[in-house]
Structure 1
Amino acid sequence: MSNELIFHHYATSPFSEKIRLILGFKGVTWHSVMVPPIMPKPDVIALTGGYRKTPLLQIGADIYCDTALIARVIDERHPESPLYPAGIAGTAQMLAQWADSTLFWTVIPYTTQPAGAAVLFAHTGPEARMAFAADRAPFTANMVRQTPVDATAALYTYLRWLETHLADGQDFLMSSQASIADFSIAQCLWYVHRAPELAKILDGYPKLSAWFKRVRAFGHGESTPMTSTESIEIAAKANEYAPTEVQPELGFAAGDAITVMPTDHGRDPVSGTLVGLTQFEVVIERHDERAGTLHVHFPRLGFQIKQQEPAE
């Protein structure tokens, strides 16, 4: 059990859909832990130490944050049908990063205008909607959000780009095989697709629509439900971790007391002891009363590392 994939997510999370589709593409069997979409998230915090974004991947007592890292871990464990094919890996990752940032933050204001919000939050009451808005407000407090009008104009432009990119008839964005770029872009269109009235914007792009159907056809793989309590028990009983190293000349040393924090939004710092640092990943060790000693992994790109300030 300690080596199996435990995926912490919720049904309507776009970034969770990205990883669910990757799991389907890989044909992976996994355990599904449903987490709350808003705070409080006591079981999530027990595993991460403060990082609250969704989703998370757990393998025993190793906790992986951010889908850029989660996707790479899944690909390393299941290398068949690679997400980063030789020859196109660099371009695929650049396109994926554009989708995870620029395209994503265009889709969000586009879909949350009244015609979309009425569908996306159709099964929640006014209090739940207000709670969701209040929960997300700190995420974007320092961002200049696009208006729905601006987001609509931008989305039309991006959809034209993608339609043109598929004009040569290939099945997927980079080649005849899917790559990380396909899943990052698909999660954004999936979120638009959930609001039928707004999803009509996709109708004028037949090649893109056909591509989207191909990606969705991968499904989500085979999952079995697991409670968050069970996942915490698995972490507490684990007695080994993924290999790590602290490479020299990267600004920190093994054993440093540090904090790790996203640089885009959801800037909740996580404190711990540095046990892994490369150009691609930072890993801290921390202890939780329920979950035991954990290694929490973050991508190096998009995260800030600081020495912990001494306690007064």
Structure 2
Amino acid sequence: MEAPNGLIVYHYPFSPYARRVIWYLQLRGLSYAECMQPHIMPRPDLSALGISYRRIPVMAMGRDVYCDTRLMLRKLEERFPQGALGATGGEQRAIQRLLDRWITDGGVFMRAASSMPPSLPILQDPKFLNDRRDFVGRAWSKEAIEQGRPESIVAMRDAFDLLESTLLADGREWILKTEAPSLGDIEAIWPFDWLVDMDGALPGEVISEKQFPKVFGWIQRFRGRLRRAQAQAQGSGSKAVKVDGEAAAKVICGASFAESGGKIDAAEPLGLALGTEVEVWPIDSGSSHHDKGRLVSLTWDEVVLATRADKWEAEIHVHFPRWGFRVARASASASAKM
């Protein structure tokens, strides 16, 4: 088999981060394959590619694999420029980028996640709770969520209010005053939509359509555009192709590389040379899972290392953003295992 457009997305439906990438592909009308993953570790489909990274989603484009949704969206914009959703003007690009930073690094998503009601069925599963404890590196329990929820709801109310009283205050349909949803909308909407869709997450007397009609209207318009895009994909036969891990790995290992490596930016402060054995890991969540391999490329905004899918005797290039990730020379013990 072949992956449509050479794209395979590893994800599970409940992942709010995965929605960002899936929404982007659907709004663009870009066909892709998807390899569904368990919502807790282990994920042998990714381990088979020599990947330790534990966050979802992960996206393959040919024999290159991309980690972190911000990097994925940037690569999709570059690979498929005709009909790209990203802003082109300086002010709009600034708003789009600031929204990305505000939601992810400014704590909005963290507050959204800690607004989950403890009664959710998934929070009754000890395996899920243990998995998330490993993921965040600290205590993660129904009791901790219950204790922190009031503070998080206050923070989310502030986030709803910011959008209601600033960007959406003038009655615009879309964040960047575009005619259709843009990348700016995707950057901003995902944690709000996720919470609105979650039973019991938002107390109606605090956050509802009554208090924030513009934000809720924006969410409904966005959902309507998604439904339309999904219906068009269904009608044209270009809906996502489902593949299992074995098939996905065969496609990836048999493909060409989507990008050439071999670049290190001038004055790179780490002082690493191409071919050095390195390890890369996120510095916020999932930080106990380090990916190790030979350095293929190192620029101001991206690091690429080579891993190996042993079963298929194929080299895979794994890409990470520099923002939010740490790059270091692999330890002697790690190098001995590679």
Report the TM-score, using the length of structure 2 for normalisation.
0.83
Secondary structure at 1:38 match in 2: coil
Percent sequence identity over matched residues? 26
> Within 2, Cα distance between the matches of 1:306 and 1:76?
28
> Within 1, Cα distance between the matches of 2:50 and 2:104?
22
> Do 1:83 and 1:178's aligned partners in 2 also have CA atoms closer than 8 Å?
no
Aligned pairs for 1:43-122 (under 5 A) are: 43-47=45-49, 49-79=51-81, 80-87=83-90, 88-101=92-105, 102-111=107-116, 113-115=117-119, 117-118=120-121, 121=122
1:148 aligns with 2:152: no
1:226 aligns with 2:246: no
- 2:208 pairs, out of 199, 202, 209, with 202
| Residue of structure 2 in register with 1:297 after alignment | 319
| Residue of structure 2 in register with 1:266 after alignment | 286
> Do 2:21 and 2:69's aligned partners in 1 also have CA atoms closer than 8 Å?
yes
> Within 1, Cα distance between the matches of 2:49 and 2:160?
38
> Within 2, Cα distance between the matches of 1:130 and 1:25?
36
- 1:246 pairs, out of 264, 269, 289, with 264
| Residue of structure 1 in register with 2:131 after alignment | 135
Secondary structure at 1:290 match in 2: helix
Report the TM-score, using the length of structure 1 for normalisation.
0.90
> Within 1, Cα distance between the matches of 2:113 and 2:280?
26
Secondary structure at 1:217 match in 2: helix
CA shift at 1:138, angstroms?
1.9
CA shift at 1:54, angstroms?
0.1
Q: Could you tell me which runs of 5 or more consecutive residues in structure 1 were left unpaired when the two chains were aligned.
A: none
| Residue of structure 1 in register with 2:331 after alignment | 309
Code of the residue aligned with 1:206 in structure 2: it is: P
> Within 1, Cα distance between the matches of 2:85 and 2:193?
22
> Within 2, Cα distance between the matches of 1:240 and 1:67?
20
> Do 1:18 and 1:184's aligned partners in 2 also have CA atoms closer than 8 Å?
yes
| Residue of structure 1 in register with 2:7 after alignment | 5
Q: CA RMSD in A?
A: 2.2
CA shift at 1:240, angstroms?
3.3
> Do 2:51 and 2:307's aligned partners in 1 also have CA atoms closer than 8 Å?
yes
> Within 1, Cα distance between the matches of 2:16 and 2:252?
26
> Do 2:133 and 2:139's aligned partners in 1 also have CA atoms closer than 8 Å?
no
Quick one: structure 1 residues 274 and 84, their matched pair in 2 at CA, closer, same or farther if it must change by over 3 Å?
farther
